[in-house]
Structure 1
Amino acid sequence: MAKQIEVSDLDAYYGSHKAIEGITMTIEPRSVTAFIGPSGCGKSTFLRTLNRMHEVIPGARVDGKILLEDQDLYGDDIDPVSVRRTVGMVFQRPNPFPTMSIFDNVAAGLRLNGRRSKSELEGIVESSLKDANLWNEVKDRLNKPGSGLSGGQQQRLCIARAIAVSPAVLLMDEPCSALDPISTLAIEDLISKLKNEYTIVIVTHNMQQAARVSDKTAFFNLAGQGQPGKLIEMDETSKIFTNPTQKATEDYITGRFG
């Protein structure tokens, strides 16, 4: 299920403004890759290019290439909606569909894909909630609104909704920034478990979190206000946090700037 992502010389624009420049990296399957760096350096922009969410913004576009295994995600014959099914996204703030029950939140993507069998939906919803470590907490109230859950539970519900459609990749944009420490720990434990089945990419401003959950870490930075963000260094997380190659990486990690 998990797939490799190969990015080559990627630039992303908002109209005439170049937000990121020259990004080249390989994201390994069944691993967690963390993106770190100061605000405004293009981490979230780059994350959204990986499932073509970037281009839903008017005037936004990309140059370069992103391969999911051997498939060019920006190929002329590729449907962006199918890309977003294969490369799922969990956002910074939990966003369950407010008018839907817990069950219907998880089943929403399946129904959009034409899955209608009640028994099939029930099986996938249960397995997705179990995979998201949420089943035991909600199994007796599946018909209650998803918006009635706590913040940490809502985020795990959104993860269950994302994995219900069997993506190959799971993108997470600061998934714990709105959560308390106990809920954050639950999400981090879940990420460590899910990497056995998915390719996971996480944007985080919490460097301790990056050190705890990721296998590889990519540090992004920009030369100055209005300049495009660039990938400065990417390596095994243990090396990035103990012996980075670039001084800018060391300065950021040790709190000298950022």
Structure 2
Amino acid sequence: MGKRIDVKDLNVYYSDFLAVEGVTMTVEPRSVTAFIGPSGCGKSTFLRTLNRMHEVIPGGRVEGSVRLDDQDLYAKEIDPVAVRRSVGMVFQRPNPFPTMSIYDNVVAGLRLNGVKGRKALDEAVETSLKGANLWNEVKDRLKKPGAGLSGGQQQRLCIARAIAVRPQVLLMDEPCSALDPISTLAIEDLVNELKTDYTIVIVTHNMQQAARVSDRTAFFNLAATGKPGKLIEIDDTTRIFNNPKERATEDYISGRFG
């Protein structure tokens, strides 16, 4: 698990609107890459191109290439659903299936993929909940509704659901924005543990969080409202925060805009 992502000359469109322009970057395997930048600069839009989630919006399309190791994710023969199995997503707000138990939430993706054996499902639930640091908190109430957990627990349940299908990459779109500081710390600790097995990309508006959890940081910006978002620079996180190459990056990190 944990594959490399290579993006080259990627333009993201919604119908005729160019939302993100000319992104070229490499996301290293088994590491955490953070996307930072002001609202509306294309961070989340670009993130969704990495597992073709942007295509669920009418008119969503790309030009350029996204490769997972040697596989072109946008090749004609590639099924977008298969891409989303390899590249999982955790969203901004915890979204457990409200009518499902904790157990059924975790195995939902496995069942969709045809896994039926009780032993295999039981093992997947325990492994995934342990992987999300949630097992000890919920092991005695697996049949209780997932929506009955606290916000931080729900987000870890969603992470367990995402890793149950054993993806290569885990995308996180502001996973802590709706959480309290203690739950945020739990998710950050979990991200640091998960990177030993997964390639992780996280969008965050919290620059302290980016500095804490990521190995590399990418700064996105846009020239003006209505203009496309662009990647300004990507580098090791310590260099981005201490000695960025671009003035715009330094201005954003220092709080002079954004």
TM range (shorter): over 0.9
Cα distance in 1 for residues equivalent to 2:30 and 2:10: 23
* Paired AA for residue 162 in structure 2: A
**Structure 2 equivalent of residue 108 of structure 1:** 108
**Structure 2 equivalent of residue 195 of structure 1:** 195
**Structure 1 equivalent of residue 118 of structure 2:** 118
Cα distance in 1 for residues equivalent to 2:109 and 2:55: 21
Tell me the secondary structure at the aligned position of residue 127 of structure 1: helix
**Structure 1 equivalent of residue 56 of structure 2:** 56
Deviations along 1:65-121, one digit per CA (max 9) or x if unpaired, are 000000000000000000000000000000000000000000000000000000110
Aligned-residue Cα RMSD (Å) equals 0.3
* Paired AA for residue 107 in structure 1: V
Shift of 1:63: 0.5
1:71 and 2:75 matched: no
Deviations along 1:199-247, one digit per CA (max 9) or x if unpaired, are 0000000000000000000000000111000000100000000000000
1:16 and 2:16 matched: yes
Tell me the secondary structure at the aligned position of residue 106 of structure 1: helix
Shift of 1:14: 1.1
Cα distance in 1 for residues equivalent to 2:13 and 2:255: 29
* Paired AA for residue 54 in structure 2: H
Cα distance in 2 for residues equivalent to 1:178 and 1:248: 28
Cα distance in 2 for residues equivalent to 1:101 and 1:135: 14
1:168-183 equivalences under 5 Å are 168-183=168-183
Deviations along 1:141-160, one digit per CA (max 9) or x if unpaired, are 00000000000000000000
Cα distance in 2 for residues equivalent to 1:33 and 1:254: 20
Cα distance in 2 for residues equivalent to 1:90 and 1:168: 14
Cα distance in 2 for residues equivalent to 1:59 and 1:195: 33
* Structure 1 stretches of at least 4 aligned residues deviating more than 2 Å after TM superposition: none
* Paired AA for residue 45 in structure 1: T
Q: Percent identity?
A: 77
What is the TM-score of this pair, normalised by structure 1? 1.00
1:40 and 2:43 matched: no
* Paired AA for residue 146 in structure 1: G
**Structure 1 equivalent of residue 234 of structure 2:** 234
User: Which stretches in structure 1 are left out of the alignment for 5+ residues?
Assistant: none
Cα distance in 2 for residues equivalent to 1:54 and 1:72: 17
Cα distance in 2 for residues equivalent to 1:67 and 1:123: 31
Tell me the secondary structure at the aligned position of residue 114 of structure 1: coil
User: Which stretches in structure 2 are left out of the alignment for 5+ residues?
Assistant: none
Cα distance in 2 for residues equivalent to 1:167 and 1:62: 23
Cα distance in 1 for residues equivalent to 2:16 and 2:226: 12
Tell me the secondary structure at the aligned position of residue 238 of structure 2: helix
Cα distance in 2 for residues equivalent to 1:60 and 1:197: 31
**Structure 2 equivalent of residue 162 of structure 1:** 162
Count matched residues: 258
Shift of 1:170: 0.0
**Structure 2 equivalent of residue 128 of structure 1:** 128
1:201-212 equivalences under 5 Å are 201-212=201-212
